[in-house]
Amino acid sequence: MLKMVLVLVLPLVMVTGCNTVGGFGKDLSKVGSTIEKTANGK
């Protein structure tokens, strides 16, 4: 029973985690771009 629950829940947790990390990476990239533009005086 526990194995079946883990098999069903674990992939959902992994996918959610990947999306969260991916979103954070995009946000961090935008902040970096803004800082770079400001440093270059644009």
Question: What is the DSSP code string of 1-42?
Answer: -HHHHHHHHHHHHHHHHHHHHHHHHHHHHHHHHHHHHHHTT-
Write phi, then psi, for 31 (nearest 5 degrees). -65, -45
Could you report the per-residue pLDDT of 1-42, keeping only the tens digit for each? Answer: 788 887 888 877 777 766 676 777 778 788 888 888 888 886
pTM: 0.48
Q: Name the token pair of 17.
A: 């985690």
Instruction: Please report where in the chains the tokens 């533009």 appear, as a residue.
Output: 37
